[in-house]
Amino acid sequence: MADRVCVAQIGSPHGVRGEVRLKSFTADPLAVKDYGPLTSEDGTTTFVIEAVREAKDHLVARLAGVSDRDAAARLARTRLYVPRTRLPPPAADEFYHADLIGLAAVRADGSELGTVVAIHDFGAGDILELRQEGKRDTVMLPFTSTTVPVVDIAGGRIVIDPPEGMFKE
């Protein structure tokens, strides 16, 4: 398991006083401010959320030390991480995305389908992105209990029941 978990991503500037659009990946979007200082993906920059509020389809955050639109614009697409120890343990039917990436994807009979390379949320629910062994292209599947009936993090695998014709034999 990863030592750090991505909890948000900075978007474009909001206004001229340094506020940024923020996409939260936490179950309660506003809880992103409760995890203390956040760090960039490479761990070299620390961010403190001074204030956060809801907007139409995102959050708007004021970050310490960011006071103008240009400074906010330079932070666009920065992913924000927190040490796993600051996060609550997931419930029995919940998972941190970081724990799913790298798991083997297998059919119910044990035959390999690929590896989880990413989890996406385009607004209609989580999508798993799988890469089949030896193939360049990836396949995207809905992360639902129908398509993914078993998630076995300890065993390093998920069981996939793909829609008919999804994987070429």
Tens digits of residue pLDDT in 92-108: 778 888 889 999 999 88
87 or 70: which carries more pLDDT confidence? 70
114-131: average pLDDT: 87
Distance CA(56)–CA(160), nearest Å, equals 35
List % helix, strand, coil for the chain (3-state, nearest 5).
10, 40, 50
* Domain 4-86, CATH number (from 2.40.30.60, 1.10.490.10, 1.10.3300.10, 3.20.20.140): 2.40.30.60
This prediction has a pTM of 0.75
Residues in CB range of 71: below 8 A, 6 or more apart: 18, 65
* Domain 97-159, CATH number (from 2.30.30.240, 3.30.830.10, 3.40.50.300, 3.90.550.10): 2.30.30.240
CA of 164: how far to CAs of 82, 138, 161, 167, 169, in Å? 39, 17, 9, 8, 11
Q: For the beta carbon of residue 96, count every other beta carbon within 10 angstroms.
A: 19
